[in-house]
Structure 1
Amino acid sequence: MMPNRETIERLKETYPEGTRVELVAMSDTYAPPKGTQGTVTGVDDIGSLLVRWDNGSSLNVLYGEDTVRIVKPKPTFKLVYQNGNVDEFETYNDAWQFITGLVMNDDLVWVDFYPSDKVYEMIRIRKGF
């Protein structure tokens, strides 16, 4: 089934380059195993998702035939110190407990707190003045 122009544009909006996907089903004997993840590198003119699979495969996801789901990345919380050192945590609570420990036990001057590449919360802590 050949998708129309509107469908292809919608696919390009839904799966922009860099989107992480996980294979649900693929009707190809050389398909990566179900659950394999990959990164979308584009959408072609017939609506196929161009995917660079983590296992090295580069089979396209065919519109109307194969199924993938978008993988939402786990947030990574980073503490960036004034001296450039970085600590990473999987949860906000883990990061906050670490900050609390620093404030209680060390001479912490400055910390910026944010997940991944988007500013989430800025915390400025001054101690010892």
Structure 2
Amino acid sequence: MTKRTFTCGLDAAIAVMGGKWKGLVLFMLQDGALRFGELRRALPGISERVLALQLREMETAGLLRREVHPEVPPRVEYSLTGFGRSLNIALTPLGEWGEQHMTHIENIPWGSSSKP
């Protein structure tokens, strides 16, 4: 396993939650545990494969907990860890900034190579 070094705290934070979907998963889990299917329905546009990969990466990073309930069929729930909740708290001001500027951001003429 390779140890990474970062140039600043923002670099480290983006490494943990980088990508389009991880921030949205953190947001969806802020109010409590959800099952895979609930997350899939709450995130239109994400494929099952990508969601599974993102959840696995987030679990490995310690952002969320995967709990398997011994039932038939098995019930699996995902919830935030303390580490994940602390990242959610840190992202709150960024989300508020996005809300305040959403109209402006939606009107940016994203080029095909720069569209998020």
> Which of the five TM-score ranges fits, normalised by the shorter chain?
under 0.3
Return the structure number with greater relative CO, CA threshold 8 A, min gap 6. 2
Bigger helix share: 2
Bigger strand share: 1
Scaled by the length of structure 1, the TM-score of the pair is 0.20
